[in-house]
Each structure stands twice: as C-alpha cells, then as structure tokens.
Amino acid sequence: MKRALFTTAVLFAAIAPGAAQDLAALAPTPQNVANSAKGDIPMSSVMPVKQKPAVVKAAHNLRAGTVLHASDLIAEGEDADALDLFVGMELKRALYKGVKLSPNDVGLPTAVQRNAIVTLEFVRGPLMITTEGRALDAGAVGEAVRVMNLNSKTILTAVITGPNKAVAK
C-alpha cells in the first residue's frame, strides 16, 4: 500500500505541483486505519484537482496605451475566463506577439489625458460651480489628478468621474 501511494504521489507531483503533499496526507495513519472499514485504506480519499493555470498572450504586436479587445489576446490553458480579466484594460507597456500578459502590464483605461481641457465641478451642499480646467496629469476614472482652473490659474486636486470630467475635492 505504501509503495503504491508513493508511486502515485510521484506521478501526481510531476503533473500538479503540490499534489504530492495532498496524497501524502492520505497515507495510512493509526487514526485513518482505525476509522477505516477494512483497516488498510483511509476513510477520506478526496483530493482537490488543480487546474492548469491559464496563460494569456498577445495575439499580435500591441502598443502601450492600447485598450485591449478579445481579438488582441489568446488564452492558453483550461481557464477560458482569464481573457475577461484583461479585456477593456489599457496596456502600460508595449507587447510583442506571443508574449505573456500579466496583471502588472495593464491598468484602467485613461479617461483624461495630460493637458486636456476638462469640465471641473465643485459641489458643496446645494451649491454647484462648473468651470473648465487643464489636466496636469493623465488618469483613469476614480483617480485623483491635478487640474489648473483656467480662469484663476489655481491648481486643484480633482477626482476623475468620466471622459474629460472631474470633481474638485
């Protein structure tokens, strides 16, 4: 029994890293043997099956700043939903065809470009002031950027709410 378990553990270790430890936990112990019906097999022999992780690669050369579409990516592995993590995201660096994509390579799409004219809102209670400003930084929705009020030349911090729109803090 121990030899068969060892052989199986070696086989699974080659297929799925960490499976050897899972199989070793099923080895006959005094507690397992006492609880088993025959006395030679463990009561519980349930082992989680580990999927081969999905690898997402570039389908063709992609420039930094590209907003990713499903046609730009290829998923290899059993988890086909891995593409959904990257579709709609913006590349931070250029990728060549066949290069593996990691979460560090992407970010939220840029909603405001640097030096773009943005609609700046200031809201306090029932009062709302709307003016135009120049974005001094680029950013995505929800990020704080510096914006210069074009009328007063005052630099404010504002949170991006949409394409070329921001709310002053």
At 155, which CATH number? 2.30.30.760
Highest averaged pLDDT of the listed ranges 22-36, 77-91, 147-161: 147-161
Q: What is the pLDDT of residues 94-148, one digit of tens each?
A: 999 999 999 899 999 999 999 999 999 999 999 999 999 999 999 999 999 999 9
137 and 103 belong to one structural domain: no
96 and 71 belong to one structural domain: yes
23 and 67 belong to one structural domain: no
119 and 147 belong to one structural domain: yes
61 and 42 belong to one structural domain: no
83 and 45 belong to one structural domain: no
Residue 29 CB neighbours (<10 A): 11
Average pLDDT over residues 86-100: 93
- pLDDT recorded at residue 45: 57
Model-level pTM? Answer: 0.57
As beta bridge partners, residue 135 has: 147
The answer to whether residue 76 scores a pLDDT higher than 90 is no
Q: What is the pLDDT of residues 2-55, one digit of tens each?
A: 444 444 444 444 445 555 555 556 555 666 555 555 555 555 556 565 666 678
State the residue range of the domain holding 135: 110-168
Of 73, 88, 107, the residue that ends a domain is 107
Instruction: Return d(Cα 100, Cα 112) in angstroms, integer.
Output: 28
Instruction: Count the domains in the chain.
Output: 3
Backbone angles phi, psi at 139, to 5 degrees: -170, 165
Instruction: Return d(Cα 131, Cα 82) in angstroms, integer.
Output: 42
Closest alpha carbon to 168 in 140, 153, 141, 149: 149
**N-to-C CA span, the chain:** 69
117 and 91 belong to one structural domain: no
As beta bridge partners, residue 124 has: 127
- pLDDT recorded at residue 118: 97
- pLDDT recorded at residue 9: 44
Q: Are 160 and 168 in contact (CB under 8 A)?
A: no
116 and 163 belong to one structural domain: yes
Q: Which two tokens stand for residue 42?
A: 């463990």
158 and 139 belong to one structural domain: yes
12 and 46 belong to one structural domain: yes
* DSSP letter assigned to residue 96: -
Instruction: Return d(Cα 62, Cα 68) in angstroms, integer.
Output: 9
71 and 22 belong to one structural domain: no
Residues 6+ apart with CB under 8 A from 60: 72, 97
Residue 102 identity: S
102 and 115 belong to one structural domain: no
